[in-house]
Structure 1
Amino acid sequence: MSKRKIGRYTRRTLGRLLAGLSLAACLTSPAFAQDAGTIRILISQSPWLNSFVSLVDQYQKDTGTKFQLDVTPFGGMVDKMRNSVRAQQGSYDIININAQGLAEMYAGGFLRPLKEIDSSFSLPEGVLDFGGSAHWNASKSSFDPKGELLGVPTNGNVLVLYYRSDLYRQAGLKVPQTWDDLLANAKKLHNPPKTYGFVSRGTRESILFDFSPVLFSHGGSFFADPETGDFSVTLNSPQGLQALETFIKLNKEVGAGNAGALEQAELIQLLSTGKAAQGTAVIAAVADLQDPNKSIVTDTIETALLPAGPGGKHASVAGHWMAGIPKNVPEANQKAALKFLKWFLQKDTQVAYTQAGGIPIRKDLSDTALAGDPAYRFIKAFSENADVAKMNTPLKEGVRMKEVISLYLNRALIGEISAKDALNGAATEMNQILTAAGYKLTPPKML
């Protein structure tokens, strides 16, 4: 099926499905809340919505199961989740949770462990768990592949490297294996204002996400050992300093000149208009970059594994979505919800999901019909980056940690403070917040 046909199909499907449902009005109906034949889903109004709806429509046709989707802007998702999971009876049988809010939902004990619904269930081989984030260890308050299975991935989103294959070919360049290689390539391609060598996001809203892979690949970390419950702050380490200096150097020497203010929409525009030779962005951006109505580099924009640090370690960062099944809904609803999620994870289903414009949650699609289609050439890079993706703030105070770290990183990027002072300042505040919250920590060592 062509991408044009898929686009028409998903728009038609979305209109038909949502038009027949009166959305939030039905969600407040007591009769509807008790109907196990209808699966009620909270989902973000995001680029992957149409592809998800296309699968819902297919499942509805195949099984007769009805669905009620509460499509909500990203900013309103958390409040709706918090209200629903704390109610005597929840409004949703499936809640889609962004990576940043997973720890809060898991740690709060709001979700039903999936093996309690079906003791034989586990994530099938080939399904990504994005840094162990499908499982939670309550005793350690951390994600742990050996902990309870609480989530099912519904949309994969990781950071990848985008580069212009035509410019690389003209300059005789190879895909960079290290950050030093990337900088060297960028210097050869940097010709402002016509072409910028490298772009990444640097605003206080986004800088933490884009900086995290650089930190991880340099052997740095935010916390000592989250998997064992040790959240002692380690951001201000020599490895962390080297990573931040590398990140600043890339953005200052070969960037667009406004790194501290560059957000996702502007970054994608720089890539899609040919103004940027390469950059880091989420894999979800590939849809716009390969759309001839939005991009002039559709055939030459390529994706790759993010570069490695000095020790040869590659890393990416997880920005995915997980589906959870709340405890406070009837068991019949829970069983129906898990049955749908099991179907959603199947390989054939994920191929259809990708063809409809979604980002898959499996890493084993290279032997499917997608492999020979140039429109899905991003699958290899997605799988490679997803396989090394990590959670950057894997604790229930993650949102607060993001605010603190991002402020200091942004100040360092725009030159307001030094990289060393930024890391020391962030580490000090992080330690104060977590200590006040009751964590047993080893104080961070100042650089």
Structure 2
Amino acid sequence: MTYQSRMTATLAASALALSASLAAAEEAPITIVINQSPWFPGFQAVVEAYEDETGNTVELDVNPFAGSLEKQRTAVRADESPFDILIMNAGFFVEFYTGGFIAPLQEIDASFELSDDIYTFDDSTCWNAEAKTITCDGGDLLSVPVNPNVLILHYRQDLYDEAGLSVPKTWDELYENAKTLQTDRRYGISQRGQRGTFDVTYDVFPYIWSHGGGIVDQQDDGSFQVSINSEGTLAGMETYLKLANDVGHPSTAGQTQTNVIQNMATGRAAHINSVPAPGLFDDESKSMVVGQVAYAPPPGTAEIPSATPLGHWLAGVPKNISDDNKQAALAFLSWFQTDAAQRAYAEAGSMPVSRAVLESEMADQPEYRWMKAMAEALPNARLTFTFPEATQVLAITELRLNQAIGGEMPLKEALNTAAEEITKVMQDAGYDIPAPELLQ
């Protein structure tokens, strides 16, 4: 049976379960603005299952990452948003929270609650406007998670078995494994390094965090400290560059997420750190490595264990839509967090946001072997940026990190330059941040 036919069969079975679990209610048509990404086909399939079961209409407005963000920014500032659900990324949701653009879900329906099985992803579903803090302790529930989107290590299980290798826990172990598996036709590892909206910055977090570094760190008292040119960040980037230069793609600075995933799917890479795309790797029509890709949390160091960045996606309802559309949006979000919907989401090839599903018997089935790695990685996952100026900071880090990876600028110079530029952005925004101490 092909991947497509398996997906069709499982979705059909799930639709029966969904029909039994929920009584369909007629709601106003809604439009969801969303980005094109490796997990989108699974979301699209589940939206279609919702339409089939309820008879309600959902239109998907699909865009590139940056395009979706710009449409959301414009929509929430209009007299009436053309979108009823915004799919917000972890790097930017704070901008919409602090701007007061998102409707508290319990103001739409006082009885609405986030299911106990759904991850809050470091409390990113909630916002305390008075304290200006991301917290579910006294904060309003503003969103429902729709995709975990964390980085996990992908490796070729068949090659590991042939070479007698063990799953790496540290970057040093990963380096040695990648060196062993590198050939003239296969990269030891493929890494994303191209400049984008939140591309290379997102992918270097596991390296820099596990070496004690950061970019802009929030302190216990709520203040911020620029740390992109700290010794820890320098060490993390040196580890990234060692892998890239010694056992990686010859043009890492030009590699997009799509390139990285395709390198694995076509057998050109022994390892990648990426958001999971298990449906693609096990699809016989798209992959040369069906059944051969295995998964684990990203490596760490001997001193600091694995930590993966939250690049997850949250569904929020804009304030500037009609009450009927708010109710219709909430109806979809209520349905989406049910166990049956979350299982159908996984069956369609995407990552559920339900702990119960990730830790269920599904994880023991070969096609869902990625679930255990995801469940192991999520407890150590961290938010990346918790201030609304993140887009300005990312414009800096995407450029400077890419220049360092591509050899256009020495690493220390790139980190120092980024630190000075980020400090100015934060100071101009009113933050009390001292001038950075430069690496020598």
For residues 204 and 397 of structure 1, what CA distance do their matches in structure 2 show?
Answer: 18
From 206, 211, 215, the equivalent of 1:213 is 206
Q: SS of the residue aligned with 2:403? A: helix
Q: Aligned pair in 2 of structure 1 residues 365, 84: CA closer, same or farther (>3 Å)? A: same
What's the counterpart of residue 89 of structure 1? 80
What's the counterpart of residue 238 of structure 1? 231
From 383, 404, 422, the equivalent of 1:430 is 422
Q: CA deviation at 1:75?
A: 3.9
What's the counterpart of residue 406 of structure 2? 414
What's the counterpart of residue 258 of structure 1? 251
Q: Number of aligned residue pairs: give it.
A: 423
Q: SS of the residue aligned with 1:162? A: strand
Contact 1:288 1:295 in 2 (8 A): yes
What's the counterpart of residue 346 of structure 2? 354
What's the counterpart of residue 5 of structure 1? 5
What's the counterpart of residue 107 of structure 1? 98
What's the counterpart of residue 60 of structure 1? 51
Deviates more, 1:319-328 or 1:215-224: 215-224
1:378 aligns with 2:356: no
What's the counterpart of residue 30 of structure 1? none
Per-residue CA deviations over 1:4-42 (Å, capped at 9, x if unaligned) read 225557999xxxxxxxxxxxxxxxxxxxxxx96333322
1:296 aligns with 2:288: yes
TM-score (structure 2 length as normaliser)? 0.88
What's the counterpart of residue 32 of structure 1? none
For residues 126 and 218 of structure 1, what CA distance do their matches in structure 2 show?
Answer: 32
For residues 226 and 376 of structure 1, what CA distance do their matches in structure 2 show?
Answer: 38
TM-score (structure 1 length as normaliser)? 0.86
What's the counterpart of residue 403 of structure 1? 395
Q: CA deviation at 1:317?
A: 1.5
For 1:133-152, what aligned pairs fall within 5 Å after superposition? 133-139=124-130, 141-146=132-137, 147-152=139-144
Q: Aligned pair in 2 of structure 1 residues 53, 254: CA closer, same or farther (>3 Å)? A: closer
Letter in 1 for 2:426: L
User: RMSD in angstroms over aligned alpha carbons?
Assistant: 2.6
Contact 1:114 1:149 in 2 (8 A): yes
Letter in 2 for 1:261: G
Indicate the percent of aligned positions where both proteins have the same amino acid. 39
For residues 11 and 50 of structure 2, what CA distance do their matches in structure 1 show?
Answer: 17
Letter in 2 for 1:411: Q
Q: CA deviation at 1:161?
A: 0.5
Contact 1:10 1:50 in 2 (8 A): no
Q: CA deviation at 1:47?
A: 4.3
Contact 2:90 2:384 in 1 (8 A): no
Q: CA deviation at 1:425?
A: 1.4
What's the counterpart of residue 260 of structure 2? 267
Contact 2:190 2:252 in 1 (8 A): yes
For residues 219 and 140 of structure 1, what CA distance do their matches in structure 2 show?
Answer: 28
Q: Aligned pair in 2 of structure 1 residues 137, 235: CA closer, same or farther (>3 Å)? A: farther
Per-residue CA deviations over 1:345-401 (Å, capped at 9, x if unaligned) read 112210011112222112332454523421111111122223322232332121221
Q: SS of the residue aligned with 2:355? A: coil
Q: Aligned pair in 2 of structure 1 residues 261, 240: CA closer, same or farther (>3 Å)? A: same
What 5-or-longer segments of structure 2 have no aligned partner?
Answer: 13-25
Q: Aligned pair in 2 of structure 1 residues 219, 120: CA closer, same or farther (>3 Å)? A: farther
